[in-house]
Chain A
């Protein structure tokens, strides 16, 4: 009885898997569209602040970030490169030793004064522009 139940369960799962697989194949065959953002990327340039955390986006896709709570200043800021494709924003933090730490976000709002985005784990960020 138990074995029959086990076999049925396996069949169900196998069938379900086949269905999911077929769906996935279908979905996978459809290329992901790149959505045109409803903001201007040019608004990203400048110095943004969230509490004690600062980001400065420079031309040439360079930038620095610092947190004054840790006795850091703009002069001490750590380098990163940034890229915005559609609503996706990628920061690649460049360590002095050469290795890279990427971080990806989805931009929710970008205006000349507000930058709001979230990451894949649901963590949101809100910045206000404080300078250029």
Chain B
């Protein structure tokens, strides 16, 4: 080293040392603690409106060079306020402020480089009147005229190297607001600078404990421990970044009967801005959280961990936020009921909005509870300040229904009682709504529920299975229109022991117009249901149909009167009742309409139903039916209390017939104010009565075991030794008229043609009225009556006319005639036969003989007397000549039956030259004994009594009993009266004959 340089350096060092010594001496002499105290007190007087005392004041130069540091100890601020016990506002044990000497010397500005507060406390208090003890800064009361600020605002440079606060305590109490807060162990370290357009700042803060208490109606208290906050940020030009970390060791909060406890919270925020684009990411993680709420419905929740994350991006116009929440093992209890048990909650969303928040779009959202997820999309926009529009679409994942229902809280499980369901379901839909002012408008809503592999069992009795079924509901808000659709590959419904139904390819639709008007009682709804196949069984009933379609319309008018329309169409219908009955149809159509009026007296008048049914190609089969039954066509309808068969065609074995007409007064019948009336036409090309009688014989006599037991009990009670059958009981309360038109009837091999007449059933009386018909043997008319006033008291009456009948055919057709008029079989030829009778019957149809009444009249001409043994006997006794022409010119026979007596009124027989009068009685008993008399009146008079029985006839010549019977001039009064009675009988019978076209 050069010597000159050495000397220079020593000289300079000495100069510096000298200057330093001089400065130190100056500071020691000039800035003594006493002098500094005075300076500070003066400053305090100027800037503080309270008393301040400082323990010690020291000035440090060298340790903070080139800055100077002012250190104060035991700084106490005193501001006495009435009603506040303590007048000390704050006490700081050590305070150090470091100033920039260069700025102080060169620019005469006080630039604070650092501020340290170490130890101390503050007692901030506001009285109930609103006086605060911390209002220690004087208020400038001078009035300054405000002049327009024409200067350019320039943010001064700020460069704070350090603000350091350590171990501070703050007590705050606002008696007016009832608020109290205590902060303990507050430490904070802040530094930052704003130099031109460059900003940087950092803060670290921590506190040991903070507690906040609110008094009054909304009393609450909260405390946090071990709070740490670390923030730093910087900005240069348009680039900026910020990082925030917050951790809280323990949080306890109480509000009313709510308690919350969080073990640990960690929160971070990272923000970056570059080239006008900003993004931020935040994450909040909590350790175990427990919360509870008392009251009438105590609730508690606990979860071990919550993680919340959110990413945000702002490009100057649009903001995108993507929050996510994961909360595993969430347990929620309501009272003693566990609502959720370790459920996993997830929320994810991607939200787009703009700076003004005029719209929020949910680009993607997920809400998950355990494995059950709902994916959401939608948005909310505010086109103006009074309108909010929103739309949402949602779709669940494929949910296991069993596991989903397991989430139903126990208190709601009763709603699912008895339900055991397995399967999966997917629900998805869209919706739109707007709110303008207070007016909420629901736009279009579309929801679809798709279920797969459903196996439902309800109450162990009703089961439903479907491999795949979709249910769709759509609401059109603009048209206020609801529509729905149901489609199912297959449905199987089973009601244990009762019914079983299987449906294939089921399609259904549903529409409802002006759905929101339903609250006003307005309904306009339609529904359709179709299926490719339906197979059903109920008890012994079975049903199978193809291509079934049902349309239903329901509407209510302004008066809230409900109208109901339904139409059912089937392509094929097969029905069976066990092995007893089977029925099928190729085509079935049913249309129904009803209008509901609650003021109606009965269900018919309340609903006023209208019905139209059309059956094509029906078939009926039964083991009880020994012949096939076919219904080629039947069409009937019901309206306004009138049931009308418009057309029908029925094939029963050999028979075919149709039915047409009305059944009316149904309302009166139901109200029990009148008879059910019917007027029906029955027509047939061919009716085989014999076959039908064989068919229906015995029907209705079978009894169930219960009925049989009941009948046996009743029979025992009656101590009746006679076993009686169930007779046919004519319905009461009905008035049915059947107008018959039958072309040909077969009865026991006899053919009758052109049968016309009426069958009426009126209030327990069955009448065959003026049934006219013709056969090869005769023209006939029949009127018959059957009444059943009591089971054991039945009435049958008839009025039967055979016109132009061959006598042998008559006997063949009515064999009983031969036993009533034994001699009739002796004649051959054409006659007229009139027969009327009545009797009461027992329940087994046995005659009550005491009630038997009958009358008959037979008229014939040119009858041939058969040449048989009886005739030979009679000829012998009456000494007929051989070769006598056995042709009877005419006979007119009248006979009556009264109880067991058959009285044959004397009748005249003219044969060749012979005339005879025959009369007598025979009895309806075991022997059929009789007592007849024949009076030969020409050519000679001779009487013959024929008595005994058919097997043992006795002949006896006697006097001529009826010699003058047919001689008006000579007949006696008895004979005249007898003939009168004959006329009465004959006329009373013939009076009932109605004109009938002769064949």
Q: Are B940 and A17 in contact (CB under 8 A)?
A: yes
A residues near B853, Cβ cutoff 8 Å? 78, 93, 95, 101
Q: Is B683 an interface residue (CB 8 A)?
A: no
A99's contact among B842, B898, B960, B985, by CB below 8 Å, is which? B985
A32–B974 CB distance below 8 A: yes
Q: Could you tell me the distance between the alpha carbons of A27 and B260 in the complex, rounded to whole angstroms? A: 140
Contact, CB under 8 Å: B797 / A88: no
Tell me if B806 is interfacial: C-beta within 8 Å of chain A. no
CB distance from A87 to the nearest CB of B (A): 11
* Interface SS of chain A: mixed
What chain B residues lie within 8 Å of A14 (beta carbons)? 940
Complex contact B840–A76 (CB within 8 A): yes
Docked CA distance A78–B879 (Å)? 46
Restricting to B934-973, which residues have a CB under 8 Å from any CB of A? 939-941, 960, 963-964, 967, 969-973
Asked whether A96 lies within 8 Å of B785 as measured between CB atoms, the reply is yes
Chain B residues whose C-beta falls within 8 Å of the C-beta of A29 in the assembled complex: 970
Q: How far is B973's CA from A121's CA once the two chains are assembled, in angstroms?
A: 18
A1-32 CB mask vs B (1 if < 8 Å, else 0) is 00000000000011011001100110111001
A67 and B839 alpha carbons, distance in the complex (Å): 12
A97 near B798: Cβ-Cβ < 8 Å: yes
Chain B, interface residues (CB within 8 Å), range: 35 or more
Instruction: Give the residue of A66, A95, A104 whose beta carbon is less than 8 angstroms from that of B855.
Output: A95
What A residues does B549 contact at CB under 8 A? none
Q: Which chain B residues lie closer than 8 Å to A67 at the CB level? A: 848, 850-851
Cα distance, A72 to B836, chains bound together (Å): 22
**Quick one: closest A residue to B789, CB to CB?**
A76
| A30 to B835 CA separation, bound complex (whole angstroms) | 37
CA distance A25 to B941 in the complex (A): 13
Min distance, Cβ A16 to any Cβ of chain B, angstroms: 8
Given A13-B879, A121-B931; A69-B850 close (CB under 8 Å): yes
B992, A97: Cβ atoms under 8 Å? Answer: yes
A114 to B985, CA, bound (A): 30
Complex interface: chain B residues within 8 A of A69 (CB): 850
User: Is there contact, CB below 8 Å, between B837 and A95?
Assistant: yes
Return chain A residues, CB-CB under 8 Å to B793: 71-72, 76
Chain B residues with Cβ under 8 A from A131's Cβ? none
Q: How far is the CA of A123 from the CA of B818 in the complex (A)?
A: 25
Task: Please give, as numbers and ranges, the residues of chain B lying within 8 Å of A20 by CB-CB distance.
Answer: 941, 960, 963
Q: Is B921 an interface residue (CB 8 A)?
A: yes
Closest chain-B Cβ to A83's Cβ sits at a distance in Å of 10
Query: Roughly how many angstroms separate A58 CA and B542 CA in the complex, as a whole number?
Result: 63
Q: A69-B850, A93-B898 are in contact. Are A99 and B940 (CB under 8 A)?
A: no
Residue of B nearest to A53 (CB): B850
Interface residues of B in 872-929 (CB under 8 A from A): 879, 896-898, 903, 921
* Across-interface contacts of A99 in B (CB, < 8 A): 799, 836-837, 855, 985, 988-989, 992
- Contact mask A103-132 → B, CB, 8 Å, 1/0? 110000000000000000100000000000
Q: Which of B838, B854, B897: most chain A Cβ within 10 A?
A: B838
Alpha-carbon distance between A96 and B855 when the two chains are bound, in angstroms: 12
Using CB atoms, name the residue of chain A closest to B784. A97
User: Would B971 and A100 count as touching, CB distance under 8 A?
Assistant: no
Chain B: CB-nearest residue to A17: B940
CB within 8 Å of A: which of B969-988? Answer: 969-974, 977-978, 981, 984-985, 988
The listed residue (B896, B921, B992) touching A101 by CB distance below 8 A is B896
Q: Which residue of B lies closest to A80 (CB)?
A: B853
A28 to B977, CA, bound (A): 15
Which of A76, A90, A93, A102 is most buried by chain B, counting CB atoms within 10 A of its CB? A102
A71 and B848 within 8 A (CB): yes
B797: chain A residues at CB < 8 Å are 95-97
B854 touching A101, Cβ below 8 Å: yes
Nearest A residue to B792 by beta-carbon distance? A71
Given contacts A71-B792, A72-B848, A92-B984, contact A101 B897 (CB under 8 A): yes
B783 CB-CB contact with A under 8 Å: yes
| Nearest-CB residue, chain B, relative to A25 | B970
Q: A100 contacts B988, CB within 8 Å?
A: yes
Of A17, A96, A97, A102, which is within 8 A of B941 by CB?
Answer: A17
Contacts of B972 on A, CB cut-off 8 Å?
28, 32
- CA of A100 to CA of B679, assembled, Å: 31
Please name all residues of chain B whose beta carbon is closer than 8 Å to the beta carbon of A121 when the two chains form the complex. Answer: 921, 931
* B window 828-872: CB within 8 A of A: 836-838, 840, 842, 848-851, 853-855
Q: Which residues of A from 19 to 47 have beta carbons under 8 Å from B?
A: 20-21, 24-25, 27-29, 32, 34
Across the two chains, which residue of chain B brings its CB closest to A18? B940
For A103, list chain B residues within 8 Å (CB). 896, 898, 903
Question: Are A70 and B970 in touch, CB under 8 angstroms?
Answer: no
Considering the chains assembled together, what is the distance between the CA atoms of A28 and B937 in angstroms? 15
Is B840 in contact with A70, judged by CB distance below 8 angstroms?
yes
**Residue A98 at the B interface, CB < 8 A?**
yes
**B707 in contact (CB, < 8 A):** no
What 1/0 flags go to B772-811 for Cβ under 8 Å of A?
A: 0000000000010100010011010111000000000000
CB distance from A2 to the nearest CB of B (A): 14
A99 to chain B, nearest CB (A): 3
A100 and B798 within 8 A (CB): no
Chain B 741-785 per-residue mask, 1 if CB under 8 angstroms from chain A, else 0: 000000000000000000000000000000000000000000101
B513 to chain A, nearest CB (A): 62
Shortest C-beta distance, A15 to chain B (Å), equals 10
C-alpha gap A57/B61 in the complex (Å): 158
CA distance A119 to B854 in the complex (A): 18
Q: How far is the CB of B765 from chain A (nearest CB, A)?
A: 10
B850 contacts A70, C-beta separation under 8 Å: yes
Cβ distance A72 to chain B, nearest Cβ, rounded Å: 7
**Taking the nearest CB of chain A, how far is it from the CB of B675, in angstroms?**
20
A98 / chain B contacts, CB cutoff of 8 Å: 799, 836, 988, 991-992
- Cα A106 to Cα B940 in complex, Å, equals 31
Contact B799 A70 (CB under 8 A): no
CB pair A70 B969 closer than 8 Å? no
Shortest Cβ gap from B986 to chain A (Å): 10
Contacts of B981 in A (CB 8 A): 90, 102, 104
Given that A100-B985, A102-B984 are contacting pairs, would A95 and B840 also be in contact in the complex, using a CB cutoff of 8 Å?
no
Residue of A nearest to B787 (CB): A96
A101 to B838, CA, bound (A): 11
Complexed CA–CA distance, A88 and B879 (Å):
36
* Residues in B131-174 with C-beta less than 8 Å from chain A: none
What distance in Å separates the Cβ of A69 from its nearest Cβ neighbour in chain B?
Answer: 7
| Chain B residues near A96 (CB-CB < 8 A) | 785, 795, 797, 838
Complex contact A13–B940 (CB within 8 A): yes
A28/B984 in contact, CB under 8 A: no
* Least Cβ–Cβ distance between B783 and chain A, in angstroms: 6
Q: Distance in Å from the Cβ of B314 to the closest Cβ of chain A?
A: 106
Contact of B921 with A24 in the complex, beta carbons under 8 Å = no
Given A28-B970, A72-B840, A72-B850: A101 and B898 within 8 A (CB)? yes
Provide the residues of chain A in CB contact with B896, threshold 8 Å: 101-103
Alpha-carbon distance A27/B963, docked complex (angstroms): 11
Q: Which of A24, A34, A104 contacts B970 (CB 8 A)?
A: A24
Give 15 new A-B contacts, CB below 8 A, not counting A17-B941, A72-B793, A97-B838.
A13-B940, A16-B940, A27-B970, A67-B848, A70-B848, A72-B848, A76-B789, A90-B981, A98-B836, A98-B992, A99-B799, A99-B836, A100-B985, A101-B853, A104-B978
Q: B residues bordering A, Cβ < 8 Å?
A: 783, 785, 789, 792-793, 795, 797-799, 836-838, 840, 842, 848-851, 853-855, 879, 896-898, 903, 921, 931, 939-941, 960, 963-964, 967, 969-974, 977-978, 981, 984-985, 988-989, 991-992
Nearest 9 Cβ contacts at the A-B interface: A28-B970, A99-B836, A67-B850, A70-B848, A17-B940, A32-B973, A97-B799, A100-B988, A102-B981
25 residue pairs A–B, Cβ–Cβ below 8 Å = A13-B879, A17-B940, A17-B941, A20-B941, A24-B964, A24-B970, A32-B972, A66-B850, A70-B850, A71-B793, A71-B842, A72-B840, A72-B848, A72-B850, A88-B977, A95-B837, A95-B838, A96-B795, A97-B785, A99-B855, A100-B984, A101-B853, A101-B897, A101-B898, A104-B977
